[in-house]
Structure 1
Amino acid sequence: MPEQSAGHLIVESLEAHGVDRVFTVPGESFLDVLDGLHDSSVQNVVCRQEGGVTYMAEAHGKLTGRPGVAMVTRGPGASNAFVGVHLAWQDSTPLVLFVGLVPVAHREKEAFQEFDPHQWFGSQAKRVMVLDDPDRASEYVAEAFFAASSGRPGPVVVGLPEDVITQRTDAPVVPPLPVAEGAVSAEDLAELAAALETAERPAIMLGGPRWTPEAAAQVSGFAERHGIPVVSDWRAGDRIRTDSPVAVGELGYSRTEDSVRVLRDADLLLVVGTTLSDIPTDGFTLRQERSARNWVVNVDAALRQHSGAVARHVLASPVAFGRTVAGLDLGEHPEWTGWLEPAASAHREHMRIPSTAGNNAPGTADMELVVKALLPHLPEDTAVTTGSGNHTAWAQRYVPKGGYPCHFSVRNGTMGYSVPSAVAVSLAQPERFVLSVSGDGEFLMNSQELATAVQYGAHPLIVVVDNGQYGTIRAHQERHYPGRVSGTQLRNPDFAAVARGYGAFGARLERNEDIEGVIADGVRAVTEDRVPAVVHVVADPAKLLPGM
Structure 2
Amino acid sequence: MPEQSAGHLIVESLKAHGVHRVFTVPGESFLDVLDGLYESGVENVVCRQEGGVTYMAETHGKLTGEPGVAMVTRGPGASNAFVGVHMAWQDSTALVLFVGLVPVNHREKEAFQEFDPHQWFGTQAKRVMVLDEADRASEYVAEAFFAARSGRPGPVVVGLPEDVITQLTDAPVVDPIPVTEGAVGAEDLAELRTALESARRPAILLGGPRWTPQASRQVTAFAERHGIPVISDWRAADRIRDDSPVAAGELGYNRTKDTLAVLTDADLLLVVGGTLSDIPTDGFRRRQGRSENNWIVNIDAALRQHSGAVTRQILASPVAFGAALEGLELSEHPDWTDWREPAVRAQREFRRIPDTAGDNAPGTADMELVMKQLLTHLPEDTAVTTGSGNHTAWAHRYFPKGDYPCQFSVRNGTMGYSVPSAVAISLEQPDRFVFSVSGDGEFLMNSQELATAAQYGAHPLIIIVDNSQFGTIRGHQERHYPGRVSGTQLQNPDFATVAQGYGAFGARLDSNEDIERVLAEAVKAVTEDRIPAVVHVIADRAKLLPGM
- TM value normalised by structure 2: 1.00
Corresponding position of 2:205: 205
Task: Give the counterpart letter for 1:457 in structure 2.
Answer: G
**In the alignment, structure 1 residue 149 sits paired with structure 2 residue 149:** yes
Query: How far is 1:332 from its partner?
Result: 5.5
Query: How far is 1:355 from its partner?
Result: 1.6
Aligned length: 548
Alignment of structure 1 residues 118-267 onto 2, 5 Å: 118-267=118-267
SS at match of 1:63: helix
**1:5-33 residue CA offsets vs partner (Å, 9 max, x unmatched):** 00000000000000010000000000000
- Following the alignment from structure 1 to structure 2, what is the Cα–Cα distance between the partners of residues 407 and 327? 29
Alignment of structure 1 residues 386-397 onto 2, 5 Å: 386-397=386-397
What is the aligned-residue RMSD (CA, Å)? Answer: 0.6
1:181–1:117 CA distance, 2 compared to 1 (3 A): same
Corresponding position of 1:451: 451
**In the alignment, structure 1 residue 61 sits paired with structure 2 residue 61:** yes
Corresponding position of 1:399: 399
Is the 8 Å Cα contact of residues 7 and 33 (structure 1) preserved in structure 2? yes
- Following the alignment from structure 1 to structure 2, what is the Cα–Cα distance between the partners of residues 67 and 428? 13
Corresponding position of 2:342: 342
Is the 8 Å Cα contact of residues 6 and 137 (structure 2) preserved in structure 1? yes
Task: Give the counterpart letter for 2:323 in structure 1.
Answer: R
Corresponding position of 1:32: 32
Query: How far is 1:356 from its partner?
Result: 1.7
Corresponding position of 1:368: 368
Corresponding position of 1:426: 426
**In the alignment, structure 1 residue 288 sits paired with structure 2 residue 256:** no
SS at match of 1:377: coil
- Following the alignment from structure 2 to structure 1, what is the Cα–Cα distance between the partners of residues 221 and 464? 36
Query: How far is 1:335 from its partner?
Result: 1.2
- Following the alignment from structure 2 to structure 1, what is the Cα–Cα distance between the partners of residues 335 and 213? 30
- Following the alignment from structure 2 to structure 1, what is the Cα–Cα distance between the partners of residues 437 and 253? 16
Alignment of structure 1 residues 458-537 onto 2, 5 Å: 458-537=458-537
- Following the alignment from structure 2 to structure 1, what is the Cα–Cα distance between the partners of residues 430 and 518? 23
Task: Give the counterpart letter for 1:173 in structure 2.
Answer: V
Is the 8 Å Cα contact of residues 200 and 334 (structure 2) preserved in structure 1? no
SS at match of 2:52: helix
Task: Give the counterpart letter for 1:239 in structure 2.
Answer: R
SS at match of 1:129: strand
Query: How far is 1:39 from its partner?
Result: 1.4
**In the alignment, structure 1 residue 380 sits paired with structure 2 residue 380:** yes
Structure 1 stretches (4+) deviating beyond 6 angstroms?
Answer: none
**In the alignment, structure 1 residue 415 sits paired with structure 2 residue 423:** no
**In the alignment, structure 1 residue 440 sits paired with structure 2 residue 440:** yes
- Following the alignment from structure 2 to structure 1, what is the Cα–Cα distance between the partners of residues 290 and 335? 26
Query: How far is 1:326 from its partner?
Result: 1.5
Task: Give the counterpart letter for 1:172 in structure 2.
Answer: P
Alignment of structure 1 residues 297-312 onto 2, 5 Å: 297-312=297-312
- Following the alignment from structure 1 to structure 2, what is the Cα–Cα distance between the partners of residues 398 and 304? 31
Query: How far is 1:327 from its partner?
Result: 2.3
Task: Give the counterpart letter for 1:353 in structure 2.
Answer: I
Corresponding position of 1:88: 88
**1:105-158 residue CA offsets vs partner (Å, 9 max, x unmatched):** 000000000000000000000000000000000000000000000000000000
SS at match of 2:446: coil
Corresponding position of 2:5: 5
Is the 8 Å Cα contact of residues 471 and 488 (structure 1) preserved in structure 2? yes
**1:417-440 residue CA offsets vs partner (Å, 9 max, x unmatched):** 000000000000000000100000
Query: How far is 1:328 from its partner?
Result: 1.2
- Following the alignment from structure 1 to structure 2, what is the Cα–Cα distance between the partners of residues 50 and 355? 44
- Following the alignment from structure 1 to structure 2, what is the Cα–Cα distance between the partners of residues 526 and 164? 44
Corresponding position of 2:109: 109
- Following the alignment from structure 1 to structure 2, what is the Cα–Cα distance between the partners of residues 108 and 187? 55
Instruction: Give unmatched runs, 5+ long, in structure 2.
Output: none
**1:430-461 residue CA offsets vs partner (Å, 9 max, x unmatched):** 00000100000000000000000000000000
Is the 8 Å Cα contact of residues 199 and 267 (structure 2) preserved in structure 1? yes
- Following the alignment from structure 1 to structure 2, what is the Cα–Cα distance between the partners of residues 321 and 494? 50
Task: Give the counterpart letter for 2:205 in structure 1.
Answer: M
Query: How far is 1:270 from its partner?
Result: 0.1
Query: How far is 1:329 from its partner?
Result: 1.1
- Following the alignment from structure 2 to structure 1, what is the Cα–Cα distance between the partners of residues 253 and 417? 18
Instruction: Give unmatched runs, 5+ long, in structure 1.
Output: none
Query: How far is 1:331 from its partner?
Result: 3.4
**1:243-296 residue CA offsets vs partner (Å, 9 max, x unmatched):** 000001100111111010000000000000000001000001111110010000
Corresponding position of 1:271: 271
